[in-house]
Amino acid sequence: MRQATVYIDSEALQYNLNRVKQLAPTAKIVSMVKANAYGHGVKDCLAALANTDAFGVACLEEALEIRELGYQQPITLIEGIFSAEEMQIVIDQNIEIVVHHQQQLDWLRAQKDAYIAKNLKIWVKLNSGMNRLGFKVDEIIDVIHQLKADGFNCVLAMHFANADADNHPLNEQQKQQFLHVKEACAPILASCCNSAAIFKWPELNFDFVRPGIMLYGASPFADKTVEDLDIQPVMTFTAEIIALNTIQAGESVGYGSTFIADKETELAIVSIGYGDGYPRAFFKQNYVAINGQKVPVVGRVAMDMIAIDVTDLNAQLGTQVELWGKHRLVDDVAEANGTIGYELLCRLSNRPIRKKP
Ligand X SMILES: *Cc1c(COP(=O)(O)O)cnc(C)c1O
Would you say 159 or 328 has its CB closer to ligand X? 159
Q: Which range in 135-143, 165-173, 191-199, 285-293 contacts ligand X by CB under 6 A?
A: 191-199
Closest CA to 73 of 12, 42, 29, 7: 29
341 near ligand X, judged by CB under 6 A = no
Report phi then psi at 261, rounded to 5: -65, 140
Question: How far does Cα 236 stand from its chain's mean position?
Answer: 15
Burial class (CB in 10 A: 0-12, 13-18, 19+), 249: exposed
Q: What is the DSSP string of 178-231?
A: HHHHHHHT-S-EEE-B-HHHHHH-GGG--SEE---GGGGT--S-TT--HHHHT-
| Alpha-carbon span 125 to 172, nearest angstrom | 18
219 near ligand X, judged by CB under 6 A = no
32 near ligand X, judged by CB under 6 A = yes
Q: Cis bond leading into 352, ω under 30°?
A: no
Q: Which of residues 132-171 bind ligand X (CB under 6 A)?
A: 159
CB of 137 to ligand X, least distance (A): 18
Contacts 24+ apart (CB under 8 A), 293-300: 293/327, 294/328, 295/321, 298/253, 298/254, 298/259, 298/267, 299/252, 299/253, 299/254, 299/255, 299/256, 299/257, 299/258, 299/259, 300/254, 300/255, 300/256, 300/258
| Alpha-carbon span 71 to 263, nearest angstrom | 58
Q: Which range in 103-111, 189-197, 235-243, 290-298 contacts ligand X by CB under 6 A?
A: 189-197
Q: Which of residues 63, 155, 213, 334 is near ligand X by CB under 6 A?
A: 213
34 is catalytic: yes
Tell me the sheet residues that pair with 8: 235
205 near ligand X, judged by CB under 6 A = no
CB of 349 to ligand X, least distance (A): 21
194 near ligand X, judged by CB under 6 A = yes
Using Cβ positions, the residue closest to ligand X within the complex turns out to be 212
On whether 303 is known to bind a ligand per the annotation, the reply is yes
Q: Which range in 14-22, 145-153, 206-214, 228-236 contacts ligand X by CB under 6 A?
A: 206-214
Q: Which of residues 293-332 bind ligand X (CB under 6 A)?
A: none
Of the residues 34, 121, 182, 200, only one is catalytic, namely 34
Would you say 130 or 260 has its CB closer to ligand X? 130
Residues near ligand X (CB under 6 A), total: 13
212 near ligand X, judged by CB under 6 A = yes
Closest CA to 239 of 7, 39, 3: 3
Of the residues 136, 255, 294, 355, only one is catalytic, namely 255
Pair 125, 190: CB distance under 8 Å: no
On whether 300 is known to bind a ligand per the annotation, the reply is no
210 near ligand X, judged by CB under 6 A = yes
38 is catalytic: no
Q: Which range in 47-55, 210-218, 262-270, 331-339 contacts ligand X by CB under 6 A?
A: 210-218
Which residue numbers belong to the known binding site for substrate?
Answer: 132, 303
Catalytic residues, by residue number, are 34, 255
What residue ranges bind ligand X (CB under 6 A)? Answer: 32, 34, 78, 159, 194-196, 210-214, 220
